[in-house]
């Protein structure tokens, strides 16, 4: 490619990353919570609410509570935050070379129009930048998780649970170590995944989003130097809690980010379980247990027209891996800071949206992939019928029970079944012949003769009920 073409392309406002380009529509809901613009809006929100809090609590002598219309006008700065606001903030920051200071000046410009220009000194009062940042990130992450990511994840778990209910009675050959093993049902196996994912969502739903507002090194030094009569800890606690967050009473300059590390570890664990599910579904598609419903007009391969590729699950695998790479890094790095403050967390946290974006994209792909699956019951049944040797476990255990009950001739059941079944296929006729010649009691013999690989799955269908308990 010519250099001129490169220069021309780079000058256009094109997306560098896939989330802001190819996959923009799938992750768009996160933009309102975890984008740079959303962070700046949340900074404005925190600064505005801090100003209102200080005046409503009469924390500083000489201040007055705002009139309702003044408080409403202040809050409109947040609700009317738009592309023009983003551009104005960028212009201010180009001069201040400091993002939070730009927010302070942005708000200060508007106080005259509200009739409270005399309160300009209250904007950012007693605050270090990280007082605003930590609360803004907490508000943004909380909104993203509770309003976007969790609803999508819960919908996916409900989708898997519904599939488990619909397929609870469909028998399926298990494979432990990749080898034929005691049968189960498709629904029970799907229920295992729904149960595992649901537990992680319960943990994530209980996340505490911590925040602090206590000054440059967490000591309230400037607060008490300026207004020694105020109960600044109570002012801080009530403000943080009013934002819907949990107050952290002990910090350095930064809120320690431990809650973020805990959250990201839980989300990463959800991702890993979902990744495991994707590889299992992919494998079941590969052996024909699931048939994929073709999408009209879609191309599976550029050269092989017969192919319907499991691309939704492959796409999800890749995005879950990328998400976890970021989440693991965030969880590991955010809990460390040199002495009272360093800026590594500032750069790290700018990737939170990307981490959640790749996870959300994966969830979307899995949901769409599951919608295009049909259960191939004939393949499942045929697989079971070609693996009668899996009844060896049941026969051995019945022989043990018979021996305990005093039935003679039940010695060495494991060894006898191993000789019959290990490393070789046994058909229905051979298995029934073997059972008939064991000398079992009539009841035990007849019970085993009625058993088939398709019916040897214990209470697997009933276990699905745990999803609704």
Residues serving a catalytic function are 177, 301
The enclosing H or E element of 182 equals: strand 179-185
Long-range (24+ apart) CB contacts under 8 A made by 216-225 are: 216/128, 216/253, 217/252, 217/253, 217/340, 217/341, 218/250, 218/251, 218/252, 218/253, 218/340, 220/126, 222/126, 223/126
Tokens for 404? 């305990």
Residue 307's SS3 state is coil
Distance from the Cα of residue 273 to its chain's centroid? 10
Residue 188 CA to residue 156 CA, distance in Å, equals 17
355 close to 388: Cβ distance less than 8 angstroms: no
Q: Which residues of 160-171 are buried (b: 16+ CB within 10 A; e: fewer)?
A: bbebbbebbebb
Cα dist. 322→23, 42, 174, 213, 366 in Å?
14, 27, 31, 33, 16
Give a three-class secondary structure readout of 215-281.
CCCCCCHHHHHHCCCCCHHHHHHHHHHHCCCEECCCCCCCCCCHHHHHHHHHHHHHHHHHHHHHHHH
CA angle 190, 457, 395 (to 5 degrees): 150
296 close to 308: Cβ distance less than 8 angstroms: no
What single-letter DSSP state applies at residue 290? Answer: E
Where residue 173 falls (left for φ over 0; alpha for ψ -120 to 50; beta otherwise) is: beta
Tokens for 345? 């967390």
Which candidate, 320, 343, 323, 321, places its Cα nearest to that of 333?
Answer: 343
Q: Which residue has the tokens 């494979």?
A: 175
Residue 90 CA to residue 84 CA, distance in Å, equals 10
Alpha-carbon torsion angle 95, 97, 103, 108, nearest 10 = -40
């Amino acid at each position: 490619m010519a250099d001129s073409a490169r220069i021309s392309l780079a000058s256009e406002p094109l997306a560098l990353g896939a989330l802001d380009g190819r996959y923009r529509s799938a992750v768009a809901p996160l933009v309102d919570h975890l984008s740079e613009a959303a962070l700046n809006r949340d900074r404005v929100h925190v600064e505005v609410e801090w100003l209102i809090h200080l005046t409503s609590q009469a924390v500083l002598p000489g201040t007055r509570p705002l009139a309702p219309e003044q408080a409403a006008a202040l809050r409109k700065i947040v609700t009317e935050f738009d592309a023009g606001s983003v551009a104005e903030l960028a212009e201010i920051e180009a001069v201040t070379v400091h993002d939070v200071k730009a927010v302070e000046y942005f708000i200060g410009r508007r106080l005259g129009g509200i009739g409270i220009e005399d309160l300009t000194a209250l904007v950012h009062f007693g605050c270090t930048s990280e007082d605003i940042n930590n609360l803004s990130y907490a508000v943004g992450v909380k909104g993203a998780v509770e309003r976007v990511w969790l609803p999508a994840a819960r919908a996916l778990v409900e989708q898997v649970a519904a599939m488990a209910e619909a397929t609870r009675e469909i028998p399926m050959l298990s494979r432990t170590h990749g080898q034929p093993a005691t049968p189960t049902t498709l629904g029970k196996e799907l229920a295992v995944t729904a149960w595992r994912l649901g537990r992680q969502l319960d943990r994530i739903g209980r996340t505490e989003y911590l925040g602090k507002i206590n000054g440059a090194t967490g000591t309230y030094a400037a607060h008490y130097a300026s207004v020694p009569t105020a109960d600044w800890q109570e002012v801080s606690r009530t403000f943080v809690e009013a934002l819907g967050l949990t107050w952290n009473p002990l910090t350095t300059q930064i809120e320690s980010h431990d809650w973020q590390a805990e959250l990201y570890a839980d989300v990463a664990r959800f991702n890993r379980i979902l990744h495991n599910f994707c590889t299992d579904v992919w494998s079941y598609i590969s052996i024909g247990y699931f048939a994929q419903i073709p999408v009209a007009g879609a191309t599976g391969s550029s050269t092989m027209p017969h192919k319907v590729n499991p691309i939704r699950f492959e796409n999800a695998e890749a995005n879950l891996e990328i998400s976890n790479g970021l989440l693991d890094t965030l969880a590991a790095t955010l809990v460390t800071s040199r002495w009272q403050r360093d800026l590594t967390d500032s750069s790290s946290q700018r990737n939170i949206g990307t981490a959640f974006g790749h996870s959300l994209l994966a969830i979307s792909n899995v949901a769409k992939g599951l919608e295009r699956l049909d259960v191939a019951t004939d393949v499942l049944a045929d697989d079971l019928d070609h693996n009668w040797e899996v009844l060896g476990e049941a026969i051995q255990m019945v022989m043990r029970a018979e021996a305990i009950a005093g039935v003679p001739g039940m010695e060495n059941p494991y060894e006898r079944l191993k000789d019959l079944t290990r490393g070789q296929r046994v058909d229905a006729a051979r298995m029934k012949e073997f059972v008939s010649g064991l000398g079992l009691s009539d009841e035990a013999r007849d019970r085993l003769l009625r058993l088939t690989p398709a019916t040897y799955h214990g209470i697997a269908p009933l276990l699905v009920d745990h999803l609704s308990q």
